[in-house]
Amino acid sequence: MNDEADPATPREGVRIRDRDVHVRSPTHALALDCLTAGIDAAHPRRVVHESIEFEGNVLRIDETEYDLSDYEELVVLGGGKATATVTVELETILGDRITDGVIVTNDPRETDHVQVETASHPVPDEAGVAGGRAVLDRATTCGARTLVLGVITGGASALLPAPAGNIGLPELQETTSALLEAGATIDEINAVRKHLSAIKGGRLAAALGTEAEGSPDVACLLCSDVVGDDPGTIGSGPLVPDETTFEDALDVVDRYDLDVPSMVRDRLDRGVAGEIPETPKPGDPIFDRVSIHLLASSLSACLAARDAASGISGADSNTPTRTDGEAIVLSSRIRGEAAEAAISAAGIAEEIVASGNPIEPPAVVVSGGETTVSVTESGEGGPNQEFALSAALELDVSGVVVAAVDTDGIDGPTEYAGAIVSAETVSADGPITPAEAAHALATNDVTPPLERASATIETGKTGTNVNDLRVIVVPEDAGE
C-alpha cells in the first residue's frame, strides 16, 4: 500500500497529510506535534513490546508468565480496529510459535499465521457476521493444551456482531444506527449489543473449549477506546464478565425512545422475563483461566502528547520553542456532547489568558475520552470536527489553537481524523463566519466549512484506537 493511500503504515509514525497547510504558526506546529506524539505512543508497535516479552519458552505478559512448553498450540483470536496491528507485533515477538488464529478488523495487515477477516465499522455487515462466526468456531476447538491470546481493541463491538437467537444482521444494523444517532454513550450502546450477541458480554469466553476436552488458558490483550478502560466495555467484553443485564439494555432502548425492530425488543423482553439465559457474570468459573492485560488507553496518548510539549514561546519562527512553558493533562475521560465540551475547552483557554489559571501561558492543555454527537440532521461530520468548530466559534482570544482527532484516524463517517482551528478560523472576516459555523453545528454538517478553511486533519487509518485526543495550545502572546 503506498504512502499516499495510507499515511500511517505499521512501521512508521503517524503522519498528517498536508501538514504544511496547517502550520500557520509555531502554535499550530506544536499542536500537531502533540497529536502525533500521542497517537504514536498508543500504537501497537510500541505498547505490545512494552508489555510482552518472550525468552526461551517463557512468554511474559506484564507480570503473568506462560511456559509455552505446557501448550500444544498458541492461538490468536479477537477483533477490533487495531487488532491486526497488534497481531503483526505479536508475530514479530513469537514468530512461528503462533499456531494459527482468526481476527476481524476494518484495518487489515499482512500476517504470517493468523487469518485476517475484514468487516465494516461502525455499522456491522455480513463480513463481520462471518468473521465473528469463524472466531467462535475456532474458539470451541481450543482445549486445555491451548494458550489463547485474545486481542480485543476498540471497534470490536461492530466488527464482531455475531447476532444471537433469531436476530439477523438487518436488525443489528438498524439498532446500532439508532443508538449512534441518538447520542447514546458507549456503555449504553454496548449494554444493548451484549444482549443481542452470541460473542459479546463474556460469551466468547463461554464458547472456548466447548468442543474440546478442558478449557484453554486465555491472555486477554486490550487496547481501550472507552472512558475509564472498563474491560467489560472495550469491544463489549467478549472475554470478561458482563455486569449489565437484559433489563439494563431494555432501559437504554426505552430511555432514548428508540424505534428498534420488533425482534430486538422481543428478545430483550424475553431476557428480562428470564426466558433467555443472561450473559456470564462475575464469579463464573469460565473466567478463572482468563488474565486481563491493558496495553494502551486514552491516558497513554494524553501523557505522550503532554510530554511532547514542555513549553511554547510566542516567537515568530517555524519551530516552536519548548523550554519555557507548562503542559498538563486535564482529563483522559472527557465525555458528553462534542459541541458542549468544546465550549468548556474554550473557557479554559480564555481563563489561562485572563488569569493564568490553571497554568500560566505559554501553556498546553491535553485531554482525551469520547465525546458524542446527537444527530438531528443528515450533514457530514464527526465528534472531533464538531468539537473543533464549536471551540473556534466560542473562542474570543486570538492566537489560541485547538486541535482534536480520533486516534484511529477516522472521525465519524468521514475520511478525516479531526480538525485544527483558532479563533481566527471563525470570524467576520475569516474563512468561516460565525453564522456559517452556527448553522453547520445546528445541522451536523461541519465537514464542508472546515474543508473550505483547510482545517480538516487527515492521517488515514493509524493502526491504533484509543479514542479522542484534544490539544489546546495557548501561546505567551495570546490575546494581544
**For residues 278 and 265, what is the distance between their CA atoms, to the nearest angstrom?**
16
Q: What is the mean pLDDT of residues 34-51?
A: 95
CB neighbour burial string for 305-338, b if at least 16 within 10 angstroms, e if fewer: bbebbebbbbeeeeebbbeebbbebbbbbbbebb
382 CA to centre of own chain = 13
User: What count of other Cβ atoms lies within 10 Å of the Cβ of residue 416?
Assistant: 25
| pLDDT at res. 308 | 92
Q: Is-contact 303 329, C-beta < 8 A?
A: yes
Grid coordinates belonging to 381: 461530520
Cα–Cα distances (Å) from 199 to 14, 181, 283, 287, 295, in that order, read: 32, 24, 19, 15, 22
Which residue in the block uniquely carries the three cell numbers 500560566?
A: 360
| pLDDT at res. 254 | 96
pLDDT band, residue 293 (cuts 50/70/90): very high
Q: Is-contact 73 143, C-beta < 8 A?
A: no
Q: What is the mean pLDDT of residues 165-173?
A: 93
**Taking all residues of the chain, what is their mean pLDDT, rounded to a whole number?**
92
Q: Is-contact 309 322, C-beta < 8 A?
A: yes
| pLDDT at res. 1 | 27
Residue 414 pLDDT > 50: yes
Contacting residues for 98 by C-beta, under 8 A, at least 6 apart: 74, 75, 76, 90, 91, 112, 113, 114, 149
| pLDDT at res. 12 | 61
**For residues 115 and 127, what is the distance between their CA atoms, to the nearest angstrom?**
14
Cα–Cα distances (Å) from 63 to 70, 179, 297, 394, in that order, read: 18, 38, 19, 47
* Adjacent-strand bridge partners of 55: 58
Q: What is the mean pLDDT of residues 94-114?
A: 97
195 CA to centre of own chain = 22
| pLDDT at res. 429 | 92
pTM, two decimals, is 0.88
| pLDDT at res. 376 | 84
| pLDDT at res. 377 | 84
pLDDT band, residue 369 (cuts 50/70/90): very high
Q: Is-contact 26 6, C-beta < 8 A?
A: no
- Phi/psi for 332 (5° steps) reads -100, 15
| pLDDT at res. 4 | 34
Q: What is the mean pLDDT of residues 379-388?
A: 96
| pLDDT at res. 180 | 85
Cα torsion 158, 94, 57, 68: sign: positive
Q: What is the mean pLDDT of residues 104-130?
A: 95
Amino acid at position 167, single letter = I
Grid coordinates belonging to 307: 510530554
Percent pLDDT > 70 in the chain is: 94
Q: What is the mean pLDDT of residues 104-129?
A: 95
- Phi/psi for 290 (5° steps) reads -105, 125
pLDDT band, residue 312 (cuts 50/70/90): very low
| pLDDT at res. 5 | 35
3-class secondary structure per residue, the chain:
CCCCCCCCCCCCCCCCCCHHHHCCCHHHHHHHHHHHHHHHHCCHHHHHHHHEEEECCEEEECCEEEEHHHCCEEEEEEECCCHHHHHHHHHHHHHHHCCEEEEEECCCCCCCCCEEEECCCCCCCHHHHHHHHHHHHHHHCCCCCEEEEEEEECCHHHHCCCECCCCCHHHHHHHHHHHHHCCCCHHHHHHHHHCCECCCCCHHHHHCCCCCCCCCEEEEEEECCCCCCCCCCHHHCCCCCCCCCHHHHHHHHHHCCCCCCHHHHHHHHHHHCCCCCCCCCCCCHHHCCEEEEEEECHHHHHHHHHHCCCCCCCCCCCCCCCCCCEEEEEEEEEEEEHHHHHHHHHHHHHHHHHHCCCCCCCEEEEEEEEEECCCCCCCCCCHHHHHHHHHHHHCCCCCCEEEEEECCCCCCCCCCCEEEEEHHHECCCCCECHHHHHHHHHCCCCHHHHHHCCCEECCCCCCCCCCEEEEEEECCCCCC
What does the pLDDT look like over 316-349, one tens digit per residue?
Answer: 334 444 446 799 999 999 999 999 999 999 999 9
Of 56, 72, 87, nearest to 147 by C-alpha is 72
What does the pLDDT look like over 393-407, one tens digit per residue?
Answer: 999 999 999 999 999
pLDDT band, residue 8 (cuts 50/70/90): very low
Domains and CATH numbers, the chain: 19-42+298-474 (3.40.1480.10), 44-162+197-244+279-296 (3.40.50.10180)
